[in-house]
A and B are shown apart, each in its own frame.
Chain A
Amino acid sequence: QQKVQQSPESLTVSEGAMASLNCTFSDRSSDNFRWYRQHSGKGLEVLVSIFSDGEKEEGSFTAHLNRASLHVFLHIREPQPSDSALYLCAVFSNTNKVVFGTGTRLQVLP
């Protein structure tokens, strides 16, 4: 059964400093990966999707997938206080199920 874990559980960075979040998965045959952002009390906002090894950039968000090492990273370039939120990694497979990580809570200090 697919297991998805995120680290760190929480992260505090200063405004403008790069933030890096990690997601590890257990099934190397997983199809697609997506990062979501969730502000407190709100719904899920799609940030970036990736399905091939390498990098995918969407605005200030870059996903980096390495299937061999079972990792998908999210890098946030020059984060702002408004980027303070819960970040969730989602792993899609051909079984029509999606498994989520437990999330990383990011705080960006002004």
Chain B
Amino acid sequence: EAAVTQSPRNKVAVTGGKVTLSCNQTNNHNNMYWYRQDTGHGLRLIHYSYGAGSTEKGDIPDGYKASRPSQENFSLILELATPSQTSVYFCASGPPGQTNSDYTFGSGTRLLVI
């Protein structure tokens, strides 16, 4: 069954440390997305990608980098983690043109930066 898998499920990091969140999809979708979810803000788009080798800035990219080494994998990188980046992070994949019936979310990664 096609799916979006995120790892780790939970992560505790120290301020100033480097954090990498991973996302793998078996949907063969070109587009992949990283969101964060905070109370009162819904889901906000951090970075997205149109395919291997491509990364684009979303609405709140500051403090984050992204990497898309292959069709299946899309990583979110926090080079210098800060407590303000404590949040729940969701990865999603979707085909070009946004047929929303095929838009699939992972289960989320809960990140705590102390």
Contacts and interface: CB of A to CB of B under 8 A. Distances in A.
Chains A and B bind each other: yes
Interface of A: 4, 6, 31-34, 42-44, 49, 51, 88, 90, 92-94, 96-103
Interface in B49-87: 50, 58
List the 10 closest pairs (A to B, CB-CB), nearest first.
A100-B43, A102-B42, A100-B42, A32-B100, A43-B107, A92-B98, A44-B105, A92-B100, A34-B100, A103-B42
Contacts of A103: 42
Nearest to B41: A102
Contact of B43 (A32, A49, A88, A93): A88
A97 B58 contact: yes
Contacts, number: 57
A32 B48 CA distance: 19
Nearest to A89: B42
B96 to A, nearest CB: 7
B48 A88 contact: no
B105 A43 contact: yes
A38 to B, nearest CB: 8
Contacts of B100: 31-34, 49, 51, 90, 92, 98
